[in-house]
Amino acid sequence: AQTPGQQLQQFDLSEQIKAATKNNHVRAENTQLMLSYQKGQITMTEYKVLLCSLYEIYQALEEELDTNASHPAVAPIYFPQELARVNSLQSDREHFFGSDWRKKVIVPAATHRYTQRIRQIGRENPMLLVSHAYTRYLGDLSGGQVLGKITQKSLGLSSKEGISFFSFPGVSSPNRFKQLYRSRMNSIELTEQERAEVLEEAVSAFEFNIQVFDDLQKMLSVTAEAVDQSKSRT
Ligand code: 1FH
Does the CB atom of residue 135 touch ligand 1 within 6 A? yes
Does the CB atom of residue 151 touch ligand 1 within 6 A? no
Asked if pLDDT for residue 189 goes beyond 60, the answer is yes
* pLDDT of 155: 92
The answer as to whether 226 is a domain residue is yes
Does the CB atom of residue 164 touch ligand 1 within 6 A? no
pLDDT confidence of 1, banded at 50, 70, 90? very low
Does the CB atom of residue 174 touch ligand 1 within 6 A? no
The answer as to whether 132 is a domain residue is yes
The answer as to whether 12 is a domain residue is no
The maximal CA–CA distance of the chain, rounded, in angstroms, is: 64
Counting atoms of ligand 1 from 1, which one is nearest the CA of 35? 30
The answer as to whether 52 is a domain residue is yes
Pocket test for ligand 1, best of 12, 16, 25, 138 (most atoms within 8 A of CB): 25
Residue bearing the CA closest to ligand 1, atom 45: 29
Query: Can you count the helices (H) and strands (E) in the chain?
Result: 13, 0
How many domains does the chain fold into?
A: 1
Asked if pLDDT for residue 3 goes beyond 70, the answer is no
CB-based contacts of 171, cutoff 8 Å, min separation 6: 82, 83, 141, 177
Please state, in angstroms and rounded to a whole number, the distance separating the CA atoms of residues 215 and 137. Answer: 21
Does the CB atom of residue 18 touch ligand 1 within 6 A? yes
- How confident is the model over 198-223, as a mean pLDDT? 90
Tens digit of each residue's pLDDT (9 = 90 or more) over 11-62: 899 999 999 999 999 998 888 888 888 888 888 988 999 999 999 999 999 9
Asked if pLDDT for residue 230 goes beyond 90, the answer is no
Sign of the torsion angle spanned by Cα atoms 22, 25, 31, 35: negative
The answer as to whether 22 is a domain residue is no
Contact (Cβ atoms closer than 8 angstroms) between residue 58 and residue 89? yes
Does the CB atom of residue 29 touch ligand 1 within 6 A? yes
Q: Taking the model in full, what pTM does it have?
A: 0.89
The answer as to whether 14 is a domain residue is no
End-to-end CA distance of the chain: 61
Tens digit of each residue's pLDDT (9 = 90 or more) over 108-159: 999 999 999 999 999 999 999 999 999 999 999 998 888 899 999 999 988 8
Please state, in angstroms and rounded to a whole number, the distance separating the CA atoms of residues 168 and 96. Answer: 20
The answer as to whether 155 is a domain residue is yes
- How confident is the model over 184-193, as a mean pLDDT? 97
pLDDT confidence of 223, banded at 50, 70, 90? low
Mean pLDDT score across all residues of the chain: 90
Please state, in angstroms and rounded to a whole number, the distance separating the CA atoms of residues 162 and 164. Answer: 6
ipTM, two decimals, is 0.91
Q: Which domain holds residue 225?
A: 36-233
Does the CB atom of residue 213 touch ligand 1 within 6 A? yes
The answer as to whether 7 is a domain residue is no
Let me know how long the chain is.
234
Query: Domain of 215: which CATH number?
Result: 1.20.910.10
More confident residue, 22 or 5: 22
Please state, in angstroms and rounded to a whole number, the distance separating the CA atoms of residues 67 and 63. Answer: 6
